[in-house]
Structure 1
Amino acid sequence: MSKRFGSLPNWWFRNEVLFSELRAHQTGEGIASMKCLLALSVLIDFYTKDVSVSITEIETITGLSRPMVIKGMVKLEYLGVISVDKNNYRNNYKLIVTKDDSRWAKVPSDMIRKQLKTISNRGTAPFVALKIYITLLSLRYKNEINVKISHEVIRNYTKVQPNQIRAGLDVLFSCSMIHLLPKEENTSNVYKLIGV
Structure 2
Amino acid sequence: MSFGQMPPGWIAAGGLTEFSGGAGVSGRMLAAAKCYLAIAGYRMAQTDDTVLSTSDFQAVTGLSKPMIFEGLTILDSMELITIDSRFAANTNAYRVGDLTAGFRKVPQDILAECLPLIPNRGIGGLDAVKLYIALLYYRDEATHSATVSHQSLRTITGIRPENITKAYSVLHTAGLVVVERMSSWSSNGGHPMNVYRLKGDFVGRRARVLRPTEQRRKSRATAKVAPWAQ
TM-score between both structures, scaled by the size of structure 1: 0.90
Within the candidate set 22, 25, 40, 2:19 is matched to 22
Deviation at 1:148, TM superposition (A): 1.0
More deviation, 85-94/125-134: 85-94
Deviation at 1:176, TM superposition (A): 1.6
**Within 5 A, what are the aligned runs for 1:44-63?**
44-63=43-62
Deviation at 1:138, TM superposition (A): 0.8
Conserved? CA contact 2:3–2:42, under 8 Å:
no
Question: Structure 2: which amino acid aligns with 1:22?
Answer: F
Task: Give me the whole-angstrom Cα distance separating, in 1, the residues matched to 2:139 and 2:46.
Answer: 21
Instruction: Give the paired residue count.
Output: 191
Matched, 1:12 2:17: no
Question: Structure 1: which amino acid aligns with 2:126?
Answer: F
Compared CA separation, residues 147 and 55, structure 1 to 2 (3 A):
same
More deviation, 159-168/140-149: 140-149
What is the percentage of aligned positions where both structures have the same residue? 29
Task: Give me the whole-angstrom Cα distance separating, in 1, the residues matched to 2:105 and 2:184.
Answer: 30
**Number of the residue aligned with 1:144:** 143
**Within 5 A, what are the aligned runs for 1:162-173?**
162-173=161-172
**Number of the residue aligned with 1:104:** 103
| CA deviation string 1:7-65 (max 9, x = no partner) | 11232111223x13211112111211111111111222124321232111111111000
Compared CA separation, residues 185 and 46, structure 1 to 2 (3 A):
closer
Within the candidate set 194, 197, 213, 1:192 is matched to 197
3-state SS of the aligned residue for 1:76?
helix
**Number of the residue aligned with 2:96:** 95
Compared CA separation, residues 87 and 132, structure 1 to 2 (3 A):
same
3-state SS of the aligned residue for 1:86?
strand
**Number of the residue aligned with 1:175:** 174
Task: Give me the whole-angstrom Cα distance separating, in 2, the residues matched to 1:185 and 1:49.
Answer: 39
Question: Structure 2: which amino acid aligns with 1:193?
Answer: L
Compared CA separation, residues 184 and 42, structure 1 to 2 (3 A):
closer
Deviation at 1:143, TM superposition (A): 3.0
Compared CA separation, residues 184 and 92, structure 1 to 2 (3 A):
closer
Task: Give me the whole-angstrom Cα distance separating, in 1, the residues matched to 2:84 and 2:142.
Answer: 34
Task: Give me the whole-angstrom Cα distance separating, in 2, the residues matched to 1:166 and 1:185.
Answer: 16
**Number of the residue aligned with 2:225:** none
3-state SS of the aligned residue for 1:44?
coil
Deviation at 1:154, TM superposition (A): 0.6
Which runs of 5 or more residues in structure 1 are unaligned? none
| CA deviation string 1:153-188 (max 9, x = no partner) | 110010111011111010011112111113465441
Question: Structure 2: which amino acid aligns with 1:46?
Answer: A
Compared CA separation, residues 57 and 161, structure 1 to 2 (3 A):
same
Task: Give me the whole-angstrom Cα distance separating, in 2, the residues matched to 1:185 and 1:91.
Answer: 45
Deviation at 1:121, TM superposition (A): 0.4
3-state SS of the aligned residue for 2:86?
coil
Q: Name which one, 1 or 2, has greater alpha-carbon Rg.
A: 2
Compared CA separation, residues 184 and 158, structure 1 to 2 (3 A):
closer
Which runs of 5 or more residues in structure 2 are unaligned? 186-191, 203-230
Task: Give me the whole-angstrom Cα distance separating, in 1, the residues matched to 2:61 and 2:55.
Answer: 10
